[in-house]
A and B are shown apart, each in its own frame.
Chain A
Amino acid sequence: MSKTAEAVPTIWTNKRSDALNTGTWRSAIPVYQNRPSPCHLACPVHGHIPVWIEMLRKGLLHEAWQKIVENNPFPSVTGRVCHHPCEDACNRSEHDANLSIRLMERYLADLALEKGWLFPETASPKKEKVAIIGGGPAGLSAAYQLKLKGYTVEIFETKPKLGGLLRYGIPNYRLPAKVLDQELNRLAKLGIKYHTETAITGAAEYKQLQNKYDALFIATGAQRPRKLAQFENNPETVLDGLDLLYRINSGQKPELGPKVLVIGGGNTALDTARCAKRLAADVTIVYRRTENQMPSQETEILEAKEEGIRFTFLASPVKLEKENETQKLVCQKMQLGEKDASGRPRPEPIKDAFFALETDTVIMALGSDIETPPIDELETQDHLIKVDANQQTSVKNILAGGDLTSNDRFVSSALGAGKIAAEQIDLLLGGTGKEEHFTGTEVLYEQINTFYFPKNPATTKSLLPASERTRNFQEVQLGLTEQQALYEAARCFNCGWCVSCDNCFYFCPDMAIKINNPGNGENYTILEQYCKGCGLCVKECPRGAIVLKEESK
Chain B
Amino acid sequence: MKHYEIAEEKVFLPGHGACPGCAMALALRYVLNIFGRNSVAVIPPSCMGPMMGAQPYSSMLIPIFHNSFESSASSAAGIKRALRARDRDDVNVLALAGDGGTYDIGLQALSSVAEHNEDIVYICMDNEGYMNTGTQKSSSTPRHAYTTSTPGGKESRKKNLVEIMAAHHVPYVATANIGYLDDFVTKIHKIKDMKGTRMIIVLIPCIDGWGFPGDAAATMSRLAVQTGVFPLYEVEDGTKYTINHGPEGLPVETYISRQRRYRHLTAEQVSEIQKEVDENWAKLEGMANLFSATM
Contact = CB atoms under 8 A, between A and B. Distances in A.
A510 B16 CA distance: 8
Given A503-B1, A511-B14, A20 B53 contact: yes
A542 interface: yes
A278 B60 CA distance: 77
Interface string B60-87: 0100100000000000000000000000
A451 B26 CA distance: 19
A106 to B, nearest CB: 28
B214 A22 contact: no
B16 A507 contact: no
A372 to B, nearest CB: 56
A15 B59 CA distance: 9
A540 B13 CA distance: 21
11 contacts: A13-B58, A13-B64, A16-B61, A17-B13, A26-B20, A509-B20, A511-B13, A511-B14, A527-B14, A534-B22, A536-B26
Given A22-B17, A511-B14, A534-B214, 18 more contacts: A13-B56, A15-B58, A16-B59, A20-B57, A22-B15, A451-B222, A503-B1, A507-B26, A508-B26, A509-B21, A509-B25, A510-B14, A510-B18, A511-B12, A511-B29, A512-B14, A536-B21, A538-B215
A536 B15 contact: no
A161 interface: no
A520 interface: no
A506 B176 CA distance: 16
B156 to A, nearest CB: 31
Contact of B58 (A16, A501, A503, A509): A16
B4 to A, nearest CB: 6
B21 A532 contact: yes
B244 interface: no
A25 B13 contact: no
Nearest to B182: A506
A47 B14 CA distance: 41
B3 interface: yes
Nearest to A21: B15
Interface string B211-229: 0001111110010000000
A534 B215 contact: yes
A462 interface: no
A511 B14 CA distance: 6
Contacts of A12: 56
B131 interface: no
A13 B55 contact: yes
Interface in A258-274: none
B23 interface: yes
B215 A535 contact: yes
Given A17-B58, A542-B1, A530 B15 contact: yes
B214 A501 contact: no
B16 A534 contact: no
B20 A534 contact: yes
Given A532-B21, A535-B21, A10 B15 contact: no
A533 interface: yes
A536 B218 contact: yes
A117 interface: no
Given A10-B56, A506-B181, A535-B214, A17 B16 contact: yes
Interface in A361-413: none
Range, interface on chain B: 35 or more
Contact of A509 (B29, B55, B179, B219): B29
Interface of B: 1, 3-4, 10, 12-18, 20-23, 25-26, 29, 52-53, 55-59, 61, 64, 178-179, 181, 214-219, 222
Contacts of A532: 20-21
A149 interface: no
Nearest to B226: A451
A326 to B, nearest CB: 64
Contacts of A536: 21, 26, 214-215, 217-218
A114 interface: no
Of A451, A529, A536, the most chain B CB neighbours within 10 A belong to A536
A22 B21 contact: no
A19 B54 CA distance: 12
B130 to A, nearest CB: 21
Contacts of B59: 16-18
B10 to A, nearest CB: 7
Contact of A18 (B15, B216, B218): B15
| 6 A-B pairs closest in CB distance | A534-B21, A535-B215, A17-B15, A532-B20, A20-B15, A509-B25
Nearest to A499: B1
B219 A15 contact: no
Contacts of B222: 451
Contacts of A527: 14
B1 A501 contact: yes
Contacts of B25: 509-510
A452 interface: yes
